[in-house]
């Protein structure tokens, strides 16, 4: 997706050295446009124990699995291979709470 600006709340497939994985953009759109990169958290299909930093995806989301809010990574525009869709507002609200827990905010 070279040249595209990552959008908060959207999931992108990216391979950053350990296979193609889905990543959720969590940084704000102004930052993403200004810097040309984004902060993202990984999604997983591996069942995880219930923790404040692990958010289950719901039926309105484009993928099945969990958001790992404590795995925050910097992704560059060239890392993003494919847009997998946007998470629901309800899930993004839970992700915001998960990020607050992960960062002790």
Residue 57 and residue 61: Cα distance in Å, rounded?
A: 6
pTM: 0.94
pLDDT digits (tens, 9 = 90+) for 37-63: 999 999 999 988 899 999 999 999 999
Query: What architecture does CATH give domain 10-103?
Result: Roll (2.30)
Write out pLDDT tens, residues 88-104: 999 999 999 999 999 99
Number of Cβ within 10 Å of residue 5's Cβ equals 16
CA–CA gap between residue 67 and residue 43 (Å, rounded) = 5
What are the residue ranges spanned by the domains of the chain? 10-103
Instruction: Report the share of the chain in percent with pLDDT over 70.
Output: 97
Contact 57, 65 (CB under 8 A): yes
Q: What is d(CA 32, CA 98) in angstroms, rounded to the nearest whole number?
A: 21
Cβ neighbors of 28 (< 8 A, separation 6 or more) are 8
Closest to 25 measured CA to CA, from 90, 61, 78, 69: 69
Contact present, 13 and 21 (Cβ < 8 Å) = yes
């Amino acid at each position: 997706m070279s040249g595209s600006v990552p959008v908060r709340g959207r999931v992108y497939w990216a391979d950053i050295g350990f296979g193609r994985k889905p990543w959720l953009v969590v940084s704000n759109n102004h930052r993403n446009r200004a810097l040309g990169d984004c902060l993202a958290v990984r999604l997983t299909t591996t069942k995880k124990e219930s923790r404040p930093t692990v958010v289950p995806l719901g039926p309105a989301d484009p993928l099945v699995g969990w958001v790992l809010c404590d795995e925050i990574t910097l992704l560059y525009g060239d890392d993003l291979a494919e847009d997998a869709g946007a998470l629901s507002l309800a899930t993004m609200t839970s992700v915001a709470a998960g990020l607050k827990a992960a960062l002790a905010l």
